[in-house]
């Protein structure tokens, strides 16, 4: 008989997290211990306890609840029960909690250091009694910006321990629903299959992010064609986000390939077959990221080309205006000279002519009309076929 205790859903987003943990689109160095520190040193900054959720399941039953202390999961980790126990720790920073996790699950100090001191490059480390898989989870924030977060998966015989940086909405909810409803083979398989399902959900979580980035690129394409001035900043932001996506998915593609090909004793052969599909998804995501980067670069070139074309049009108009006024300036300068018509009849006789003023204005107008007609005929002003 299936039993469910204090079922929970993924908590809604809390207050904005610290820039150290969530600002992963920047080039941030890992939060490593001081140079010369002993291996396994934990660098933790705050005393806020993480949220811990537990799911214990097998083919006959399923228990799901939030626990207040990691010691409450010890009763589910005994060898007498054939169930799989998933402990999801959301939030890092409480040193006592992670030291106790290391004692309960017998986590190697180097593995615990990689879990806590973020960010780490996605990788897989095999130990005697467990295996550690470090991934990067990508999501879109409420304002549509890319947010990446480290998620560590530690699994061994009968248990899976996941550690997230922040207690926010994640991409693991589909796996929780599969466990609750008993869909597929997840309730019939071991801890290695659950670890695969979590890793696969992380890779598949890139698709919605890429879909939103694709929509933003389509909108930006129209803005670039319309010549909007703020398009360059938006293109720059998208290129930075795509770079962050590439930095997140590239090593995870290598990680999927390594999990598929290594001889880890913690991954069964039938589970290894499913990792092929995860590897294919990682390759597809990588191809989409590269395609979007090329599109963004092309849009940037198109924007710069459009700006150059508009600048050339402005310079052409200003040049035409200058050349139109050039003969007017010449005529006005000639008739502005102080010649004495009494000294010689050749000294501008039109100065004493009755229609001299009208003649000068007519000459100016005729030069303007002639230049406009010439520019029009050459195609420098408007189009030749107009």
When comparing pLDDT for 298 and 21, which is higher?
A: 298
Of 288, 305, 322, the one marking the end of a domain is: 305
In a domain, 48, yes or no: yes
Q: Are 130 and 155 in contact (CB under 8 A)?
A: yes
Q: Point out the least confidently predicted range of 28-32, 62-66, 157-161.
A: 28-32
pLDDT band at 316 (very low <50, low <70, confident <90, very high): confident
Of 262, 278, 305, the one marking the end of a domain is: 305
Q: Are residues 144 and 278 in the same domain?
A: yes
Domain membership of residue 317 as a residue range: 313-378
Report the candidate in 84, 127, 121, 115 with the shortest Cα–Cα distance to residue 264.
127
Q: Are residues 80 and 202 in the same domain?
A: yes
Whether pLDDT at 73 is above 50: yes
Tokens of 292: 């979007």
Give the whole-angstrom CA distance, residue 258 versus residue 280. 13
In a domain, 7, yes or no: no
* Cβ neighbours of residue 104 closer than 8 Å, sequence gap 6 or more: 70, 71, 73, 74, 77
Percentage of the chain lying above the pLDDT 70 cut: 87
| CATH number where 346 lies | 1.20.58.340
Tokens of 175: 């796996």
Give the whole-angstrom CA distance, residue 106 versus residue 129. 8
Q: Point out the least confidently predicted range of 14-28, 150-164, 315-329, 368-382.
A: 14-28
In a domain, 9, yes or no: no
pLDDT at 342: 78
pLDDT at 323: 87
- What is the DSSP secondary structure assignment for residue 185, as one 8-state letter? T
Report the candidate in 171, 130, 172 with the shortest Cα–Cα distance to residue 154.
130
In a domain, 182, yes or no: yes
Report the candidate in 195, 285, 300 with the shortest Cα–Cα distance to residue 240.
300
Q: Are residues 229 and 343 in the same domain?
A: no
Q: Are residues 254 and 334 in the same domain?
A: no
123-126 vs 84-90, strand pairing mode: unpaired
Q: Are residues 294 and 344 in the same domain?
A: no
Domains in the chain, number: 2
Q: Are residues 296 and 323 in the same domain?
A: no
pLDDT at 294: 93
Output the pTM of the full model: 0.76
For residues 239, 242, 248 and 252, what is the CA-based torsion angle, rounded to 10 degrees?
-140
How confident is the model over 258-273, as pLDDT tens digits? 998 878 888 888 888 8
Whether pLDDT at 385 is above 80: no
Q: Are residues 199 and 332 in the same domain?
A: no
Query: Taking residues 342-367, what's their average pLDDT?
Result: 83
pLDDT at 79: 67
In a domain, 13, yes or no: no
In a domain, 8, yes or no: no
Whether pLDDT at 44 is above 80: no
Give the whole-angstrom CA distance, residue 144 versus residue 234. 12
In a domain, 12, yes or no: no
| CATH number where 167 lies | 3.30.460.20
Average pLDDT across the chain, whole number: 84
Q: Are residues 221 and 114 in the same domain?
A: yes
Q: Are residues 88 and 215 in the same domain?
A: yes
pLDDT at 13: 41
Q: Are residues 41 and 123 in the same domain?
A: yes
Q: Are residues 329 and 182 in the same domain?
A: no
pLDDT at 12: 41
pLDDT at 166: 84
pLDDT at 352: 79
Report the candidate in 84, 76, 86 with the shortest Cα–Cα distance to residue 58.
84
Q: Are residues 122 and 242 in the same domain?
A: yes
In a domain, 36, yes or no: yes
Of 280, 305, 330, the one marking the end of a domain is: 305
Question: Residue 292: how many CB atoms within 10 A of its CB?
Answer: 21
């Amino acid at each position: 008989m299936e039993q469910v205790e204090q079922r929970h859903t993924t908590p809604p987003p809390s207050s904005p997290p610290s820039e150290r943990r969530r600002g992963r689109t920047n080039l941030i160095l890992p939060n490593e211990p001081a140079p010369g520190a002993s291996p396994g040193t934990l660098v933790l900054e705050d005393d806020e306890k993480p949220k811990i959720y537990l799911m214990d399941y097998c083919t006959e039953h399923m228990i799901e609840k939030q626990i207040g202390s990691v010691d409450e999961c010890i009763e589910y980790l005994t060898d007498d029960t054939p169930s799989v126990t998933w402990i999801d720790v959301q939030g890092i920073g409480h040193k006592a909690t992670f030291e106790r996790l290391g004692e309960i699950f017998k986590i190697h100090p180097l593995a615990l250091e990689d879990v806590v001191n973020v960010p780490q490059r996605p990788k897989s480390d095999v130990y005697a009694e467990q295996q550690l898989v470090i991934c990067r989870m990508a999501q879109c924030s409420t304002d549509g910006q890319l947010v990446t977060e480290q998620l560590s998966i530690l699994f061994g015989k009968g248990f899976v321990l996941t550690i997230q940086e922040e207690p926010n909405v994640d991409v693991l909810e589909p796996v929780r629903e599969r466990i609750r409803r008993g869909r597929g083979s997840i309730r019939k398989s071991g801890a290695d299959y659950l670890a695969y399902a979590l890793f696969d959900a992380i890779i598949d979580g890139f698709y919605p992010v890429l879909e939103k980035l694709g929509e933003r690129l389509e909108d930006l394409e129209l803005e670039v064609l319309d010549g909007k001035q703020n398009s360059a900043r938006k293109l720059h932001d998208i290129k930075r986000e795509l770079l962050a996506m590439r930095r997140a998915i590239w090593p995870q593609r290598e990680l999927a390939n390594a999990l598929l090909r290594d001889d880890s004793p913690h991954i069964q052969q039938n589970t290894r077959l499913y990792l092929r599909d995860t590897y294919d998804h990682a390759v597809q995501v990588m191809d989409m990221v590269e395609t979007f980067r090329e599109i963004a670069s092309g849009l940037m070139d198109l924007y710069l080309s459009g700006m150059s074309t508009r600048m050339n049009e402005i310079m052409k108009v200003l040049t035409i205006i200058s050349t139109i006024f050039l003969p007017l300036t010449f005529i006005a300068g000639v008739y502005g000279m102080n010649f004495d018509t009494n000294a010689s009849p050749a000294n501008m006789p039109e100065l004493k002519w009755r229609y001299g003023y009208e003649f000068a204005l007519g000459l100016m107008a005729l030069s303007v009309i002639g230049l406009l007609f010439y520019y029009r005929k050459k195609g420098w002003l408007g189009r030749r076929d107009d």
